[in-house]
Structures are given as structure tokens and as C-alpha cells.
């Protein structure tokens, strides 16, 4: 077999696997929500097998830089300040940007929660990215590292809030990477 035939065969197999995995994910989430329970859709939602690619691809996407933040600092000591609010400037050249935070602390569980509120999110994205859940508060985690969180910021900007968990004691430092 020639090298071209082998590459074409590999490409066809890759595309077929991608289609099968995508269809499996779509079928998993195909059950409609109950009429009287608006939270049913979010409770029964199971992410597709491809959803793990989001955190992997986040490393290669555009990032929030310190100059886009007010105040424009990268390290936050939540032992001194219980709550820090960061304003993220709009960026019309990037539809999405990632803000990756690394939490460092002395005790064994995350010491802070991180949340994002978008300014005027598009209607189709408002429920997913416009008001992201409290990261570090136990509601959602980012990958296998419970101290590293990626917040997806929309092009309109918004507000990121870092807040110390009440049950946490000792040092609590959060850094923007």
C-alpha cells in the first residue's frame, strides 16, 4: 500500500470515529425536560464524550491578559481580602478568551470560589457561559486538578469574582496564569 492510501484510510477512520462519538453524545442528551421543571434539563444533561476536549483546547485559545483586568494584578491574597472583584474589558477581536486561575493554599480543599458574570451575553450562550457556576465551591471542577480553574470570558467582557470560602482557614492565594 502506498503512503497516500494509508493516510486516506486513517483519515476516514478518524472521521468515522468522530461522527459516532458525536451521535452517541447527542442521543445521551436527547430526553426532553419535563414541562413543570425548568431545572430538569440541567439536571439530566450528560456531556458528550468530546466535552473533555474543552479543557485541552483551552490551553491553545486566546487568554485574558492582566492589562484587560481592572485591577491589573495577577496574584490575589484572599487571606487579606475575603472577596476580590475583577472587571474584564471587552475584546471585539476574540469571541472567547480563557482566564486560567491556579489556587494555592495550605489545607486540603479549595479555599475560594471563582465565578464569572458576562456583560450582555448572546441569547444562545447566556445560560452556558453568561453566568458560570462557582468554581471551587464544590459545584464544578476543572479537570483533574481541583486547584486549577478555567473561566471562559465572552468578547463583551464581564466580572470575575474571587471569594474566600468561609470554611477555609490559613493561606489562600489565587494566581492568574
Same-domain pairing of 58 and 39: no
Same-domain pairing of 112 and 167: yes
Which candidate, 115, 120, 121, places its Cα nearest to that of 133? 115
- For 78, the domain range is 53-176
Same-domain pairing of 35 and 65: no
Same-domain pairing of 29 and 62: no
Same-domain pairing of 44 and 65: no
How many domains, in total, are found in the chain? 2
Residue where one domain finishes, among candidates 36, 51, 66: 51
The enclosing domain of 62 has a CATH number of 2.60.120
Residue with the bigger pLDDT between 45 and 63: it is 63
Residue where one domain finishes, among candidates 10, 31, 51: 51
Q: Grid cell 490575589 — which residue?
A: 76
Residue where one domain finishes, among candidates 33, 51, 69: 51
CA-based end-to-end distance of the chain? 47
In which band, very low, low, confident or very high, does the pLDDT at 32 lie, cut at 50, 70 and 90? low
Residue 68, pLDDT > 90, answer yes
Same-domain pairing of 65 and 40: no
Mean pLDDT of 115-142: 63
pTM: 0.61
Same-domain pairing of 81 and 157: yes
| Predicted pLDDT of residue 153 | 87
Q: Could you tell me the maximum CA-CA distance found in the chain, to the nearest angstrom?
A: 67
Amino acid at each position: 500500500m502506498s503512503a497516500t492510501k494509508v493516510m486516506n484510510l486513517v483519515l476516514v477512520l478518524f472521521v468515522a470515529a468522530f461522527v459516532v462519538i458525536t451521535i452517541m453524545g447527542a442521543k445521551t442528551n436527547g430526553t426532553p425536560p419535563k414541562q413543570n421543571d425548568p431545572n430538569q434539563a440541567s439536571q439530566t444533561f450528560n456531556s458528550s464524550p468530546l466535552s473533555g476536549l474543552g479543557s485541552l483546547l483551552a490551553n491553545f485559545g486566546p487568554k485574558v491578559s492582566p492589562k484587560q483586568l481592572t485591577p491589573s494584578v495577577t496574584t490575589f491574597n484572599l487571606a487579606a481580602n475575603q472577596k476580590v472583584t475583577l472587571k474584564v474589558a471587552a475584546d471585539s477581536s476574540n469571541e472567547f478568551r480563557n482566564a486560567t486561575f491556579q489556587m494555592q493554599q495550605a489545607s486540603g480543599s479549595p479555599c475560594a470560589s471563582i465565578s464569572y458574570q458576562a456583560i450582555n451575553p448572546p441569547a444562545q450562550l447566556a445560560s452556558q457561559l453568561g453566568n458560570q457556576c462557582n468554581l471551587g465551591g464544590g459545584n464544578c471542577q476543572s479537570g483533574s486538578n481541583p486547584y486549577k480553574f478555567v473561566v471562559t470570558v465572552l468578547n463583551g467582557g464581564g466580572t470575575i469574582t474571587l471569594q474566600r470560602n468561609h470554611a477555609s482557614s490559613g493561606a489562600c492565594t489565587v494566581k492568574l496564569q
